Amino acid sequence: MAYGFDTLQIHAGAAPDPATGARQTPIYQTTAYVFRDADHAAALFNLQEVGYIYSRLTNPTVAVLAERIATLEGGQGAVCCSSGHAAQIMALFPLMAPGRNVVASSRLYGGTITQFSQTIKRFGWSAKFVDFDDLEAVKAAIDDDTRAVFCESIANPGGYITDLDAISAISDAAGIPLIVDNTSATPYLCNPIEHGATLVVHSTTKYLTGNGTVTGGCVVDSGKFDWSASDKFPSLSEPEPAYHGLKFHETFGALAYTFHGIAIGLRDLGMTMNPQAAHYTLMGIETLSLRMERHVQNAEQIAGWLEGHEAVDYVTYAGLKSSPYNARVANICPKGAGGLFTIALKGGYESCLKFVDSLEIFSHVANLGDTRSLVIHSASTTHRQLTPEQQEAAGAGPSVVRISIGIEDAKDLIADLDQALAKASA
């Protein structure tokens, strides 16, 4: 029987603890696991038997979270990591090699633009940024060295929704996996795999945990990509020297990418999620659908109110009829466009600083997707390292404030915004 989302967000991956009957998933706060005997140890290290060796690789609490997220996303398997940015490196790692590139949307989380435009160059990888509304440009950017196409479902922070069906048709035709960052939408609002994504990455720091307590990330594999269809992904299709010549795809089939992520990615890069973090995120996920419904309800009401405010130049919320991306909501995220958007203030840079300093319920922080309402002036903070052109392309120009609507009373949030806007435009 196929359970619904509300049931799966509470039960998927978990069962009463076999040793104690504990109903809630215990925090397995252990580094290592005792082998039954030397043969058992050898079988585990040969990947002939699945089990626990060492918590850099796997841990029972973290495994419950990985299975929960994989299930909610409709994937075959998942690997949890120490942060969303770790998940992005982990997602690319099996695919890339020096000289290879990723074709990425120019509308991405600011930190991702920095990671892709600067830091990955140290590995000999590169990114080509293109406007993902220009399908011809996406096609043209894919070359013989391209090993992944990367975008966000609902892009942070610009209120931009990607036409995932059109993009996955292009990546499919090129024989290249599509990686979708589904952080802002969550699997409750959007299922990238249904729209052709090969891999889904998350910053679990945000809505999945939902309470601003821990950083974390996750890579989900759809299990649908044929890694052996070309010679482009030798680490998955050919004998892997880092694992005594094991052929991951031949051996593990639809779980090849997930096993590679654990046996090589976590083993050698060590970007592991700890069991405490997994616990907090499991607590958060139990109420994901309830929170997302309220985030959407509040965001729709508040974005509409802001749009009519005299101090506000524009509001980029895809849930508004005025948004050029409103037409994509019904197909990509039919339960709503999320709780994240930007506003531009007519008063410009200085007015934005006054606005964020005057808010009382909203906190000025570098986070989003919390139960609490949050704001940030991106141009002076998260997007500071970007060029003015990159800031504009990412929807984070000098007069723009990013707003993450929480699940408080909408009337209180509106009153807070109202008094801060009055001060900002005085």
Query: Which residue number, 150 or 259, has a Cβ lying nearer to ligand PLP?
Result: 150
The amino acid present at 418, given as its one-letter code, is D
How far apart CA 355 and CA 345 sit, in angstroms, is: 9
Residue identified by tokens 């909408």 is: 410
Q: Does the footprint of ligand PLP cover residue 85 (CB under 6 A)?
A: yes
Smallest gap from residue 90 Cβ to ligand PLP (A)? 11
Among 162, 184, 289, 351, binds ligand PLP (CB under 6 A): 184
- Which among 35-43, 79-87, 276-284, 341-349 is the span making contact with ligand PLP, rule CB under 6 A? 79-87
Is 95 or 424 the residue whose CB approaches ligand PLP more closely?
A: 95
Q: Is 183 in the site for ligand PLP (CB under 6 A)?
A: yes
- CB nearest ligand PLP: which residue? 84
Q: Which is nearer to ligand PLP, 273 or 424 (CB)?
A: 273
Number of residues that bind ligand PLP (CB under 6 A): 17
- What is the H or E stretch that residue 340 is in? strand 340-345
Report CA 156 to chain centroid distance, whole Å. Answer: 10
Between 112 and 272, CB nearer to ligand PLP: 112
- The two beta strands, 101-105 and 312-316, are unpaired
111 vs 336, beta carbon nearer ligand PLP: 111
Judged by beta carbon, residue 217 or residue 339, the one nearer ligand PLP is 217
Rounded CA-CA distance 307/297 in Å is 16
Residue 408 identity: E
Q: Please say which residue, 41 or 283, places its beta carbon nearer to ligand PLP.
A: 283
Restricted to residues 232-251, the positions that interact with ligand PLP (CB under 6 A) are none
- Smallest gap from residue 109 Cβ to ligand PLP (A): 4
Long-range pairs for 231-236 at CB < 8 Å and ≥24 separation? 232/147, 232/175, 232/176, 233/94, 233/95, 233/147, 235/94, 235/95, 235/97, 235/260, 235/264, 236/94, 236/260
> Of 288, 302, 290, which is closest to residue 404 (Cα–Cα)?
302
State the nearest-atom distance from the C-beta of 81 to ligand PLP, in Å: 9
Burial of 330 (0-12, 13-18, 19+ CB in 10 A): exposed
Q: Does 162 bind ligand PLP (CB under 6 A)?
A: no
- Regarding 399 and contact with ligand PLP (CB under 6 A), the answer is no
CA distance 276 to 166: 39
H or E element that contains 364: strand 363-364
The conformational region for residue 134 under phi > 0 = left, psi -120 to 50 = alpha, else beta, is: beta
Residue 395 within binding range of ligand PLP, rule CB under 6 A:
no
Contact positions with ligand PLP (CB under 6 A) in 93-112: 109, 111-112
Name which of 207 and 233 has its Cβ closer to ligand PLP.
207
How far apart CA 406 and CA 299 sit, in angstroms, is 8
404 binds ligand PLP (CB under 6 A): no
212 sits near ligand PLP (criterion: CB under 6 A): no
Q: What is the nearest approach in angstroms of ligand PLP to the Cβ of residue 198?
A: 17
Question: What is the contact surface with ligand PLP in residues (CB under 6 A)?
Answer: 83-85, 109, 111-112, 152, 156, 181, 183-184, 203, 205-206, 215, 217, 368
